[in-house]
Amino acid sequence: MSDIKSLEKKEGLVRGEKFRTHASFIIFKNGKEGLRKVEKELKALGHPLVLEDAGTFKWYPAFLHPMILMILKDILDWSNEDIFEMGTYSAKLSFMNRVLVRYMVSTEKALSKAPQMWRNYYDIGNLKAVDFNENKKWILIHLFNFDMHPLVCIYNSGYILQSMRNAVRGSNMNIEETKCIHKGDDYHEYKVTWE
Ligand SMILES: [Zn+2]
């Protein structure tokens, strides 16, 4: 519990859309009852929030995101795979993600918008597609100045993978976090590959 409370020291803001998509996926997996359990726990920690009522474009403390992920593991017994799946689901559902990615004429164009897309969600961290090779079929993405929690890295893997599915034509797409600040690296690095 002290671990979860220490998240409150993390700075930064995130858009409410995050919590709305959380709500949909928690209901999908554990029903409304599961969602209420999560909200009850949040309230007990001093952060009352009805996830479904979060304002899509309103800013909230970013630490609420890892706090919810920790609650899901503790209270609803979620696995890392469930957290990853929630990331993919959120990117599928996200209004902002779909609008920005789907109507791009090319993969390069879509990827060039990645830093802006990140900034639409967070007022902290910098995300960049640093390398893209259509022939070798991989993309390298770096995320700087973003120190939240390892569970957020898992969620982000799912989110980035789904965003790439939206942006790149390819099958059997995969993602791996190849560098991570929680493992002593200077930034998070995600490598997306496909066939
Ligand atoms: Zn990481």
Q: Model confidence over 15-59: pLDDT tens digits?
A: 999 999 999 999 999 999 999 999 999 999 999 999 999 999 999
Q: Model confidence over 89-137: pLDDT tens digits?
A: 998 887 666 666 665 667 777 788 889 889 999 999 999 988 888 788 9
How far, in Å, is the centroid of ligand 1 from the Cα of 147? 8
* Cα-Cα end-to-end distance for the chain: 43
Q: What is the largest CA-CA distance in the chain?
A: 51
How far, in Å, is the centroid of ligand 1 from the Cα of 150? 6
Q: Model confidence over 74-92: pLDDT tens digits?
A: 999 999 999 999 999 998 8
Domains of the chain, each with CATH number or no CATH? 2-90 (no CATH), 104-193 (3.90.1520.10)
Residue 171 pLDDT grade (very low, low, confident, very high; cuts 50, 70, 90)? confident
The neighbour count for residue 69, using CB atoms within 10 Å, is 25
How far, in Å, is the centroid of ligand 1 from the Cα of 51? 25
Flag whether pLDDT at 3 surpasses 70. yes
The 8-class DSSP code of residue 135 comes to T
Residue 169 pLDDT grade (very low, low, confident, very high; cuts 50, 70, 90)? confident
CA dihedral 64→65→66→68, nearest 10 degrees, is 80
Flag whether pLDDT at 168 surpasses 90. no
Helix (H) or strand (E) holding 139: strand 138-144
Specify the pLDDT at position 97: 66
The 8-class DSSP code of residue 122 comes to B
List residues bridging with 161 in a β-sheet: none
Write down the pTM of the prediction: 0.93
The 8-class DSSP code of residue 7 comes to G
How far, in Å, is the centroid of ligand 1 from the Cα of 74? 21
Specify the pLDDT at position 103: 59
Q: How far apart are CA 119 and CA 124, in angstroms?
A: 8
Give every CB contact of residue 45 below 8 A, 6+ residues apart in sequence. 4, 5, 67
Specify the pLDDT at position 2: 58
Specify the pLDDT at position 102: 60
How far, in Å, is the centroid of ligand 1 from the Cα of 153? 4
How far, in Å, is the centroid of ligand 1 from the Cα of 83? 14
How far, in Å, is the centroid of ligand 1 from the Cα of 48? 28
